Structure 1
Amino acid sequence: MQTVVLAAGEGTRMRPLTDRRPKPTVPVADRTLVEHVVDAATAAGASRVVVVVGYAADAVRTALADRPAVEFVRQPRQRGTADAVRAARDALDDAPFAVLNGDVLYDRASLERLYESGPGVGAARVEHPERYGVLQTDDDGVVQGIVEKPADPSSDLVNAGAYVFPAAARKWLDVDESDRGEYELTDVLARACEAGTTRAVTVDRWLDVGRPWELLAANEWRLSELDRRLAGEVHADADLRGPVVVEGGAAVDAGVVIEGPALVRAGASVGPNAYVRGATLVGEGATVGHGVEVKNSVLMAGATVGHLSYVGDSVLGRDVNFGAGTTVANLRHDDDDVTVRVNGEPTATGRRKFGVVCGDGVKTGIETALNAGVVLGTDARTAPGETVTRDRDRSI
């Protein structure tokens, strides 16, 4: 099955983490997000993979550089998903083709079923279908249509963003512009549904990684699949429990306790006397110093939490540096879900515990306290002893 992977978008809802990288290249365990998508497609039986790039295209190409079977096409302007597939049209054979989003995780078995289904769309049952495109199906599971974000959903079965189209769909990509000024792949799906042969193929597991807390969820998923492997330097007095991976070139010092699932990537260092627990990624060249506790968090490449600090349920971008004694709050006193501002709008994370989001290059002064749900923009700074309760876009 020839497969198109859409990886041209910027990912504005993931800002500030995408200020300096496209969303498909954010880290999920030992690979970028788009690598997971391409690898799942290949394992499920993709005969060839065409990746559509656009925003920060070179970063996507670099991420996939060691996969020689991958081809790239460029979408000059990001004008919607149908326009993205249209950019790949000339690269496709005159045969059925699949389309996957480069920022959605799928399990392999579900993709295999989709590839074997003939014309089909990945379908998932969700708690809040009003947030998605709701699929309308008959008693045999044939898709009759799709309604985008309905106020009163007719079912809880939604579009999971994975498709198999007939060869004829290459000619259906010249759709009309939508009300929001884009060319939508769902309009192509509607055309496919008119033939009466497009089936809803239920996926076992999928995750749309659009916002920072969903990046945490993605890492929780993929880190849970780790097998214990200690290739790096681990001190005899360190205590590593459960599925922990220490890559070659990483170091774990004396007095460290790591409770898996956790991944310490090449060039990273942990300790002495540090505590890492929950689903935690310590990225390449990152540092978790003396007396630091990190819980259920993502530390991207080069991030440093030097000493005597606490980081919980948080995402730290590349080259973040937390001053000594920096403490992250990750729980509201009223026990409601933590909210985070996304594109300027307060948005519920669905998480009772969530800490902070730090863009690349953030630096905190010593003894900084960061409130739950705070977002520090790229290169933001805090003063020594400061308590930060509101988002900060720039340096003090």
Structure 2
Amino acid sequence: MAENPVAVVILAAGQGSRMQSDLPKVLHRLAGVPLIAHALAAARSLEPEQVIVVAGHGADQVGHAVADLEPEARIVLQSQQLGTGHAVRQTLPELEGFEGKVVVLYGDTPFIGQDTLAALASHTADIVVLGFEAEDPGRYGRLVTGARGLERIVEYKDADAATRRIALCNSGVMALDAALLRQLIVRLGNDNAAGEYYLTDLVELARAEGRRADVVTCDEEETLGINTRAELAAAEAAFQARARRAALEDGVTLSDPGTVWFALDTVVGRDAIIGQNVVFGPGVTIESGAEILPFCHLTGCHVSEGATVGPFARLRPGAELGADAHVGNFVEIKNSVLDEGVKVGHLTYLGDATIGEHANIGAGTVTCNYDGVMKHRTRIGARAFIGSDTMLVAPVSVGDAAMTGSGSVITQDVPDGALALARARQVNKPGLAIRLMDALRAKKEKR
């Protein structure tokens, strides 16, 4: 067991009615991934023994998303949304026997930093709350502090005028000893304006037990919660501004930073060059010295050192480009490996393919990988030359240093060094073009 074990509880049960959406709020996308992915990534930074997600509205959808993002996370159901305290109480069976610190996060609060979470998890107080000095405190709950640390948390709707003048606000995020949580959570009441069980009331209960409560503070921007489409758009802008700034500081050239869009997990090496209007979806790694030209869309792919992509190219999940490979304009690559020096100039689709080093793929080449039921793989050897407008009907292999003639439909394997021609013999009909056009024009004039 870790010296200071941590369990993370992520609250993700709310409907988010202000989003005006049938989609659960935590599944709306920010930086290419659902909001809940940001909370899960934050949780991961603590190396927790357990991650528990409390789902409610759209629980099946949330559960499927969490399973894809963090398979080891556990899902518990809050069938009635009766407040944050009630939500955390649903996790008690999962926390049975756990001895350590429980950190409570929110699925719609994406920007809490690793340093802030580490400070929360390592704090020596029995219960510690994340607070921030708000520029406009508005309707946030207030943190009332004194000589003995945090005295109580007061929800805005329950606060008097003097309490509402306090600028130190509650983010809702907290950490507390697991044994203390189990002891106090069952004692929460709902005698408040909303009739809900507030997690924040644990502070007052803990103080009554002689336990120490305290506050860790962070910048207000870390606590930004998403409740509306406008707030989601503002969060996207904030994320992109931060990601662009970080890329530039790390030695990446962005030709027009404001037009480059990053995902949560985008990795770009130093001295890479990113052109205008490039969009990174999740799961992209660009190695040092690679160049992505304008108007490209990349998702779930890896681009090695010295490779070039674009303009107007699309790399889909499973695309692996070796060093110095070139993927040109209007090329789409999916679930394919291109070895070192492969050239795919333009107007080509490569799906479920393996391409050997220094092969040249002509314009208009298509790997016909789908038979309507299953996908099949195409293998092209090193230094092969695929003529323009070749259809490769998978499963099929083209050997090392082999060639295909332009316009061929390849349905059988091509041996090493062989030339494959698979097209109908050309037949010329003298004068037929002129006679045909004359007949068509005459027909048109009669109409």
**TM-score, normalised relative to structure 2:** 0.50
C-alpha contact 2:104 2:173 (8 A) present in aligned 1: yes
Cα offsets for 1:71-98 (capped at 9, x unmatched):
1111111111111101111101243311
Q: CA deviation at 1:259?
A: 5.8
Q: CA deviation at 1:31?
A: 1.2
Q: Secondary structure at the match of 1:190?
A: helix
Match of 2:135 among 115, 127, 147: 127
The answer for the alignment partner of 2:118 in structure 1 is 112
Aligned length: 248
Task: Quickly say closer, same or farther: Cα 1:246–1:179, change in 2 above 3 A.
Answer: closer
Match of 2:194 among 156, 160, 180: 180
Match of 1:157 among 145, 149, 168: 168
The answer for the alignment partner of 2:212 in structure 1 is 197
Q: CA deviation at 1:192?
A: 2.4
Of structures 1 and 2, the one scoring higher in RCO (CA 8 A, sep 6+) is 1
The answer for the alignment partner of 2:39 in structure 1 is 37
Instruction: Output aligned runs, 1:191-270, within 5 Å.
Output: 191-194=205-208, 195-204=210-219, 205-226=222-243, 241-242=256-257, 244-245=260-261, 263=279, 265=281
C-alpha distance in structure 2 between counterparts of 1:181 and 1:259, whole Å: 52
C-alpha distance in structure 2 between counterparts of 1:201 and 1:121, whole Å: 6
Q: Secondary structure at the match of 1:34?
A: helix
Look up the equivalent residue of 2:176 and give its one-letter code.
F
Q: Alignment RMSD, CA only? A: 3.1
The answer for the alignment partner of 2:342 in structure 1 is none
Instruction: Output aligned runs, 1:130-141, within 5 Å.
Output: 130-139=138-147
C-alpha distance in structure 1 between counterparts of 2:262 and 2:79, whole Å: 40
Cα offsets for 1:8-56 (capped at 9, x unmatched):
1101122x1x3x2111111001211111011112113433210001110
Q: CA deviation at 1:265?
A: 4.0
C-alpha distance in structure 2 between counterparts of 1:246 and 1:2, whole Å: 30
Task: Quickly say closer, same or farther: Cα 1:207–1:258, change in 2 above 3 A.
Answer: farther
The answer for the alignment partner of 1:60 in structure 2 is 62
C-alpha contact 2:153 2:201 (8 A) present in aligned 1: no
Unaligned runs of 5+ in 2: 1-5, 246-253, 264-273, 283-293, 301-447
Q: CA deviation at 1:168?
A: 1.6
Q: Which has the higher helix share?
A: 2
Look up the equivalent residue of 1:129 and give its one-letter code.
P
Task: Quickly say closer, same or farther: Cα 1:43–1:96, change in 2 above 3 A.
Answer: closer
C-alpha contact 1:45 1:112 (8 A) present in aligned 2: no
1:86 aligned onto 2:89: yes
Task: Quickly say closer, same or farther: Cα 1:282–1:124, change in 2 above 3 A.
Answer: farther
C-alpha contact 1:123 1:201 (8 A) present in aligned 2: yes
C-alpha contact 2:106 2:173 (8 A) present in aligned 1: yes
**Moved >4 Å (runs of 4+):** 257-260, 281-284
Q: Secondary structure at the match of 2:154?
A: strand
Task: Quickly say closer, same or farther: Cα 1:158–1:245, change in 2 above 3 A.
Answer: closer
C-alpha distance in structure 1 between counterparts of 2:206 and 2:279, whole Å: 43
Task: Quickly say closer, same or farther: Cα 1:52–1:227, change in 2 above 3 A.
Answer: same
C-alpha distance in structure 2 between counterparts of 1:5 and 1:219, whole Å: 21
Q: Secondary structure at the match of 1:10?
A: coil
Q: CA deviation at 1:263?
A: 3.6
Unaligned runs of 5+ in 1: 229-238, 248-256, 267-274, 285-396
Q: Secondary structure at the match of 2:243?
A: coil
C-alpha contact 1:10 1:22 (8 A) present in aligned 2: yes
The answer for the alignment partner of 1:325 in structure 2 is none
Match of 1:2 among 7, 25, 28: 7
C-alpha distance in structure 1 between counterparts of 2:134 and 2:167, whole Å: 6
C-alpha distance in structure 2 between counterparts of 1:138 and 1:282, whole Å: 52
**TM-score, normalised relative to structure 1:** 0.57
C-alpha distance in structure 2 between counterparts of 1:77 and 1:215, whole Å: 26
C-alpha distance in structure 2 between counterparts of 1:125 and 1:31, whole Å: 29
Match of 1:77 among 63, 77, 80: 80
The answer for the alignment partner of 1:311 in structure 2 is none
Task: Quickly say closer, same or farther: Cα 1:283–1:26, change in 2 above 3 A.
Answer: farther
Larger Rg: 2
Look up the equivalent residue of 1:11 and give its one-letter code.
G
Instruction: Output aligned runs, 1:339-354, within 5 Å.
Output: none
C-alpha contact 1:223 1:263 (8 A) present in aligned 2: no
C-alpha distance in structure 1 between counterparts of 2:183 and 2:234, whole Å: 37
